[in-house]
Amino acid sequence: MTVRILNGSAIRDQIYAELQSQIAELQSQGIRPGLAAVLVGENPASQLYVKSKIAACEKLGIFSEELTPPATITTEELLRLVADLNRRNDMDGILVQMPLPKQVDSKRILDAVAPEKDVDGFHPFNVGKLVAGKPNLVACTPLGCMEILRRSDIPIEGANAVVMGRSDIVGKPMAILLMHAHATVTICHSKTRNLPEVVRRADLVVAAMGRAAMVTTDYIRPGATVIDVGQNVITDAAEAERIFANFPEKIEAFRKKGNVLVGDVHPDVVNVAGAITPVPGGVGPLTIAMLMSNTVRAARLRRGARSGSPQAVGATKS
């Protein structure tokens, strides 16, 4: 059996082509979608993430502005900054890059973002709309996973799906999206009994536990579809050699760079899965694509743009 590699980069490019035509339509009406990215402090990983998001805006013609308050900012000061962005009509989306410094109340900040500008899909209003089957702005990573499945013609309706992980950002919205697409969904987590046995029943597995290479071949039914959300950096040579024992090119890359990226799914799973997303190049590119899609959708909805439908790329139906 030959495994299908679900190429997230290729799907991202399809979505970008569709978004470019939507953006051109908005611009013909005098509307340029705008995204504000708030990056607190100088966390290198956060800086990299925001840089890639700003680059995507530039590629598509979305107006973007990066705000970089110091790491010493207080909750009240950051709330005032978010309130200013809520009032700005040129900003359709507000992205507050996580994590925030310890002295900042992250929940208060995320809840302060106007729901119609919440392009991350984290606000309780938008979560409630998703649960009710009337999605408005949905969390980007699970939305990206759905696009991979749909555009790869992976059957969802009637499938037994297992979501590994129950985070508010990925696991919970992923399960809800799959339910709305008529899958039968089981959510697993660190307290699930007989975890490999439960996961092995699935036609479709979404791994979002945040643990490097934990999903080994004994978790996966032969022929199942595996969506790997994990992004784990391995810096220990012994761990890299253990995980990539059957992939000498990865070990060689580790020796050159001193680190290697691995998902939550062990690379050997490629030998039993029917279809699988790679790491890197699978879910990652779709997360940013869905952020762009949400920004365009927010612009259309906020500004009353003329269109046959306000539904942007990635929006789901109940």
Residues identified as active-site:
53, 97, 120
Q: Is 37 helix (H, G, I), strand (E, B) or coil?
A: strand
User: Which of 265, 155, 252 minimizes the C-alpha distance to 204?
Assistant: 155
Task: Report how far apart, in Å, the C-alpha atoms of 282 and of each of 8, 158, 286 are.
Answer: 4, 24, 8
Residue that is written with structure tokens 């207080």 in the block: 74
Helix runs in the chain, H state only: 8-28, 44-60, 75-87, 106-112, 124-131, 140-151, 171-180, 195-200, 237-243, 248-257, 283-303
Residue 218's identity, in one-letter code, is D
- Residues 15 and 75 sit within 8 Å (Cβ to Cβ): no
- In this structure, the number of other CB atoms found within 10 A of the CB of residue 244 comes to 22
- 161 close to 188: Cβ distance less than 8 angstroms: no
Question: Which contiguous run of DSSP H or E holds residue 188?
Answer: strand 184-188
